[in-house]
Structure 1
Amino acid sequence: MRHRPLVGIVLSFVIGISVNYFFYIPFLFVFPAILVTTIVYSCLFILHSRKSNARPAGPFASPTAFWQGRVVGQTKGCVLTLLILTFLTGISYHNLRFSFRATDNISSFVSNEKIPVRLRGVVVSNPIVKYMPGTHLSSLKQRKKVTTFLLQTEAIESRNWKNITGVIKINIYPTKEESASTSNNNYHPFKLKYGNKIKLIGNISKPSTSRNPGQFDYKKYLQRQRPRIEAVASVVSINNIKFLSEGHGNYFLTFVYSTKKKLNNIIDRYVKKRSIPLVSSILLGDREKVPVELIDSFMQTGTIHFLAISGLHVGILVVSLHYFLRLLRFNMKTLAIIIILITFLYAAITGLKTPIIRASIMVATYYGAFIVNRRWDLSNSIVAAVFIILLINPSDLFNVGFQLSVLAVLGIVYISNQIESKVISGNQPSWWRNCKRKKKGTRYGFYLKYIVEKHFVSL
C-alpha cells in the first residue's frame, strides 16, 4: 500500500463487485455504511494531516516513540477506512449498474413470450450482417442472413405512444425475395447506420435464461454488455422498418464509424477480393465478414484467436508510430500525445473490446509518464487498466476475455523471469530465451484460468 496504493484500492473494489455479484446486497443497505465510512475517513484524514503538520521543527525535530505510534496508528486507520470505503463502493456500483432500472424501462413492458409491438428509437451501434443457423446447423445452405444492431428505445405503442428507456437488440430477417435480390456482402436494409431514428414493427421478448445448472445464460450475458441490453426484438422483412431522420448519435462515435467506413473502403480498393474479409477481421475487428467455412477451418486448427483483435495489434501500431514519429524529429511529449490519441481512436474503431482497452490504457500510462515527467510503473499501469475497465463496466470482471487478458499480462510480467533459469537452457541465444520465456509465462496465466473453469488441462 505504501509504494503502490492503487493495488490495494483496486483489489478492495474488485472484492466489492464480486460480493455483490454472488450475494445480492440492496443499495439502500450499503448507502448508510458508505456515508458513515466517508465521514470517519474524512475525520481521520484531517486529524492525520494536522498531526503531521504539528511536528516540532529545529534541532529537536526527532519525534518520540509515543508520537510515532500515534501517527502510525492514524495512518493505518486511514488506510483501513479507505479500503472499507472502496469495498462498499464496489458493492453499490455493481448494484446500480447491473440491477437498477428506471420505472419506464423497456423491460417492464415485455415478458418471456414474444409479443408484437411498434417501437420508435435511435440506432446506437453500427448494423452488422451475420449468418444465422437454420434448422440444420451443419448445413451451410440452411444459414440465412440477419442484420443485427442495438436500438435506444424512445417510445412504445400500446393504445397511444408511451415514452420508454432502455437498449434492446434488433434482429432483421430478410424475406427470401429480399435475400435473393441482394448479394451476400452488400445486403443492408436501406443503408441503416448509427444515429438513425427509426420506427419498426416486430416481436419482442426478454432474452432466454439458463434452464439447467452450468448452462449458458443469454439473459445475463446481454445484461453484462455495454450498454446493457434489456430485450430482443425480431423484425421480419425490411418493409417493417421506417426511416424517420438521421444525426441523432454521439458526435465522436459518428466520427469513429465514418472513419471505419473509409478504412474499409481503402481495404476494398487495394486488397484482393478474396482476402478482404480476412484483412478486415485482422485489422479492424470485422469478424462477421469472414466466411463461415473459413471460420470453421480456423476453429478446427485451433487458430481462431488470430482473427481476434488483441493487445498485439496495439503493440504493433504503437511501435510503428513511435519509430515513424521519431524519424520525423518529434519531441517526446508531442510524440506521446499523438500516440495516445491514435491508440484510443484505434480502440474505438475496433469496437472497444476489453483486451484493446487494457492495452490502450497501459500505453496511455506509459507515454503519459513522459508528458508529466514522472516515472512509469508497470504494476500500477496494469492495475490502472483494470480499474478503468471496471469503472466503464463492472460486469467485465466476470467476462472470460477480460480475465484471460489480465492473466496473460500477469503471466508475462511476473512468471516469465522466474522460469527463465529453471526451464530454458542457457546455451540458446538471448532473444530466443526471451521469446520462449514470455510465451511460457502467458501460457501459465492461461492455464491457471483454464484449470479453475474446466478442472482439466488439454494436452
Structure 2
Amino acid sequence: MKRPLIYAFAALCCAILLAGFGAPFFLYVLLPVALLPLPLIFKKVRPVSVVLVLAIYMLGCAAAIPVFGNENPFEDFWDQPVLLSGIVDSVPSQEGEKTRFVLKLQEINDMPVSGKVMVTVAENSVNYTPGAALSFDGEISEPAGRRNPGGFDYALYLKAKGIDGQVYLKNGEAVTVKPGLFSPIYAVYGIKQYLSKVCDKFFTPSQSGLIKGILLGDNTMDDEVKASFREAGVSHVLAISGLHVGYVYALVLWMLALLGVRRRYHLPVLAVCLLFYITLTGFSPSVIRAALMCLALVGGRGMAETYDALNGLCMAGIVILLFQPAQLFMAGFQLSFSAVLAIVLFYRPLLYEYGRHIKAPGAMVSSLLLTFCATLGTMPASLYHFHTLNLVALISNLLVVPLVGVLLVFALITVPLTAFIPAAGGLFCLPTAFIADCVLFLTNLFSKFSWLVLHRGAMTLAELLILVLAALLLAGYFNLNKKSARYFVGISFPLLLLVIFGISLVRQPLKVTFLDVGQGDSALVETPSGGVYLIDGGGYENYGNAPRKERVPISESVLLPALYAKSIQRIDGVFISHNHADHAQGIEELLTEIPVGRIYVSSKYNNEALLSQNKIPVEVLAKGSTLESGDGLSFEVLWPESKREALADEEQNDVSMLLRLCYGSRSFLFTGDAGFQAEEAIVRGLHETDVLKVGHHGSRFSTSPEFLKKLNPSLAVISVGRYNSFGHPTNEVLENIEVSGAVCKRTDKNGAVEVWTDGKNLSVRSYIDKD
C-alpha cells in the first residue's frame, strides 16, 4: 500500500463524519470488516499498512465520538443565573462596542466543572490579561447552530475550538479579577496582547487591523476594510495560514544561514520558532498544518530523504483532526487543505503542460498557475460555505499576496523592535506603514470589480466530479493515447452533463421557507417552475428613544446567504405586509443587492424613496387582489378591505396584508402582524388552511381560538426572536394552538422551518430539531 498516510487520513475523516452525523454502531464496523481481509486478497497490501490505517481509524472514533455526543457539560445550567469562576484562556478582542474572550471554567456555584465558554462583554474598554482569574454572576446559554439556509453554524464553530457555551455580560465592572495562573502559553498570549497594543499605538486603525491580522491572527479589522478584502478576493491573507508560515519559515532559515548555524541545528531551532508562532496565533489549524509540513521538509532534507508533499499534508491533517475532530467541518480547515492539495496535485503538471505546448513559463505565468490551482482547489468549499466564486481573485492575488508577504516580513522585524525600543517606533514603523497602505490601496482598487463575484449554492456531486475530471484532464493525468482513457473521458463527461441536465428538468415541489430573522417575519417561496417570492424581510425595530444599535444588516446576515445558498439570482416579487422595520427593513436592503421584479404593499408605503423610485413597480393590494404565478400557484389578498393611504406606525398592524397562498389542494396563510380586528373581519369567509404563519409573533392580541378553529391548520409557524423582551409567544397563544391540534414550530427554538408540497402531500423540516 503506497503512501499509507493518505489512506489513514481518509479513514480518520470517515470516523469523524460517522460521529458528526450520529451514525449507528453497525456503520462504524463496516470499515474494519472491509480492510482486514485485504492483505489476504491483494499481495501488494501489507498487513502493517492495514494496521496503521485501522489504528488511526480507532483513534479517530475515540476522539470524535465524545466531541459530537449529545451531552454538554453545561446543559444543566442553561439560561440560569449562576456564579461563574474561571481563567481567561485567550487574548480578549475588541469587536465594535464589545469585548470577547474564552474563559476556562473552574467552578459554577462553587462546584468544580471543566469546560470553556465564550464570554461577550458589552464594553470595549475591558482588557483582561490571559491567565487572570475571573468570577461573576451570569447565565450560560447554548450556542446557536445553523438556523437558516446558508447560515453560519456558530455552535459548530465554537465546538471546533473546544468551547461548549456562551455568556453575555452587560457590565464588565461586575467582574471580580484576581491574579491567575502562569503558564508558557499565557506568557505568549501576553506577548501577543502587548504587540497588539504596539500596533494600535504606532499605526492608523486600518494599518493596525491589517498588520495584526497577518502577524497575530487578530480578526478585529474594521468591517469596511474586511469587506474590501472579501470583494477583492484576497480575504484569505487576513487568516493566518501556510502563506504566513512560509514567510516565517524562510525568514528563520535565512537568519540561521546568515549566522552560520549548521544545518543539523536548523530543525530544532525552526521547531521552537514555529511552536512560538503557533501559540502566538492561537493554535490555528492552518498554521499547525503548514508548520508540520515545513518541519517534515526540513527533517527530510536533514536525513537526505525525498520529501513527499502529499504524505506531509496527510500527516498534518491526522495530527490536527486527532486533537480537534470538529475542524473537519470548518471552512478554514477545508479551504487550507484543499488549496494545498490542488497545488500539490496540479501545479507542476500544469507547468509542464504549459512548457510542452506553449513555452517555458516565466514568473508571471508560474504565479498565475499557482493562483489558479489554489482557486480551483478551494472552489467547492467556497461555494458551500460562502456561496461565492470570485473571478477577480485570479488577478488580485498576483499583486496583493506577494506584497502581503513583504509586509509580514517587515512586521515580523519592526513590530518586535518597536516593542523593545518604543522611542524609535515612529521611525521603525514607517516602511511597514507604507507597505500596509499599498496593500490597502490595491485591495480597495480590486474591490471595485465586485461585479466579477459570482453567487450560487454548493456544487452538486455531478458538478464536483466534472470539476475534478476537467482538472485531471488539463493537468495531463489522463494519457489520451490510450484507448481506455479516451473511452473513460468520452463517456464520463457526457454522462455527468446528462445527469445535471436531467435533474434540472425534474419538476420541483413548492417550497416555503420561514426564515429565522429574529424578532421579525420573512418567508421565502420557491415555485415549481423556478419562480421566487419573498413575503416580508425581517429587520430591527427601534423602540422608544433607545439609541439604535449597530447591527449587521438582516439582508447580509440572513436573506442574501439564504438566497445564494439556493442559487437564487432574482426575485420575481416581494410582499411587504406592513411598514414596520421588523418586516420591511430587509426588503429595502435587498433592493440594492439583487434584481426584484415587483413590490407589493398593503397600504401606501411610508418610505418615499421606495415609492418615488421608478426601477421597480410598486403595487398597492387590497382584499380581492389575486396574483397567478403561471405554474399553478395563486396568491389571494384577504385583508385589508380596501387600498389605504400611508399610515402612522401605531396603525400599521391593523392593515397588515393577509395573504393566502394556494397550490393544488394545499394552502398557506401569511398574517403579518394582524390582530383580532383583522381576524374577525375575515373569519366568516375563511377556508381551512394547512399552514398558518401565526400573527404578530404569537402576541396575545392575535390568533384567537375561533380563528384557529375555522382555519384548522395542521402546522402553525411562529416567527419570533430568541430572548425577546415582549414575552412572545404568549402562553395563551401556545395553548390555543395546542388545543387546535396543530403542530407548532417556532423560529426561536427550531430555526428556519421549510415546508414542501407537490399540491397533495406536505413535508416539514426545521433546521434545529428542538421542541
TM interval, shorter chain, is 0.7 to 0.9
Contact kept? 1:153, 1:166, Cα under 8 Å: yes
Identity %, equivalent residues: 25
Query: Partners of 2:351 and 2:165 in 1: how far apart?
Result: 50
Distance 1:17 1:192, change over 3 A: same
Gaps of 5+ in 1: 45-68, 132-144, 175-186
> What letter matches 2:181 in structure 1?
H
Superposed, which structure 2 residues align to 1:31-430 within 5 Å?
76=46, 79-80=49-50, 82-99=52-69, 101=71, 105-110=73-78, 114-131=79-96, 145-157=97-109, 161-174=110-123, 187-189=124-126, 191-212=127-148, 215-223=151-159, 225-227=160-162, 229-243=163-177, 245-249=178-182, 251-267=183-199, 271=203, 275-288=207-220, 290-372=221-303, 374-422=305-353, 426-427=358-359, 429-430=361-362
Q: Deviations over 1:20-55 (max 9, x none)?
A: 2224346xx899x79x99xx98xx9xxxxxxxxxxx
Deviation, structure 1 residue 405 = 0.8
Q: Secondary structure at the match of 1:359?
A: helix
Deviation, structure 1 residue 121 = 1.6
Distance 1:423 1:444, change over 3 A: farther
Gaps of 5+ in 2: 390-452, 455-771
Q: Deviations over 1:225-278 (max 9, x none)?
A: 222x222111111221111x32325x1212211222343355456546763333
Query: Partners of 2:6 and 2:368 in 1: how far apart?
Result: 29
Which structure has the greater CA radius of gyration? 2
Distance 1:218 1:447, change over 3 A: closer
Contact kept? 2:87, 2:180, Cα under 8 Å: no
Deviation, structure 1 residue 408 = 0.8
Question: Which has more helix, going by share of residues?
Answer: 1
Query: Partners of 1:382 and 1:15 in 2: how far apart?
Result: 17
Distance 1:416 1:199, change over 3 A: same
Contact kept? 2:293, 2:312, Cα under 8 Å: yes
Of structures 1 and 2, the one with the larger relative CO (CA 8 A, separation 6+) is 1
TM value normalised by structure 2: 0.46
Deviation, structure 1 residue 389 = 1.0
Deviation, structure 1 residue 149 = 1.1
Distance 1:5 1:322, change over 3 A: same
> What letter matches 2:268 in structure 1?
I
> What letter matches 1:188 in structure 2?
S
TM value normalised by structure 1: 0.74
Deviation, structure 1 residue 414 = 1.0
Distance 1:416 1:285, change over 3 A: same
Distance 1:269 1:154, change over 3 A: closer
Deviation, structure 1 residue 298 = 3.1
Give the count of matched residue pairs: 387
Distance 1:81 1:421, change over 3 A: closer
Q: Secondary structure at the match of 2:164?
A: strand
Q: Deviations over 1:340-369 (max 9, x none)?
A: 211221122122222211111111111122
Contact kept? 1:417, 1:437, Cα under 8 Å: no
Query: Partners of 1:270 and 1:455 in 2: how far apart?
Result: 37
Distance 1:451 1:302, change over 3 A: closer
Distance 1:123 1:306, change over 3 A: same
> What letter matches 1:152 in structure 2?
K
Q: Deviations over 1:38-74 (max 9, x none)?
A: xx98xx9xxxxxxxxxxxxxxxxxxxxxxxx989769
Query: Partners of 1:295 and 1:399 in 2: how far apart?
Result: 20
Query: Partners of 1:302 and 1:120 in 2: how far apart?
Result: 42
Partner residue in 2 for 1:9: 8
Deviation, structure 1 residue 284 = 1.7
Contact kept? 1:260, 1:349, Cα under 8 Å: yes
Distance 1:315 1:266, change over 3 A: same
Partner residue in 2 for 1:54: none
Query: Partners of 2:382 and 2:224 in 1: how far apart?
Result: 28
RMSD after superposition: 3.3
Contact kept? 2:310, 2:341, Cα under 8 Å: no
Q: Deviations over 1:114-144 (max 9, x none)?
A: 333221222211211111xxxxxxxxxxxxx
Distance 1:440 1:155, change over 3 A: same
Contact kept? 1:120, 1:155, Cα under 8 Å: yes
> What letter matches 1:12 in structure 2?
A
Distance 1:235 1:84, change over 3 A: same
Query: Partners of 1:319 and 1:362 in 2: how far apart?
Result: 13
Query: Partners of 1:265 and 1:150 in 2: how far apart?
Result: 19
Distance 1:410 1:211, change over 3 A: closer
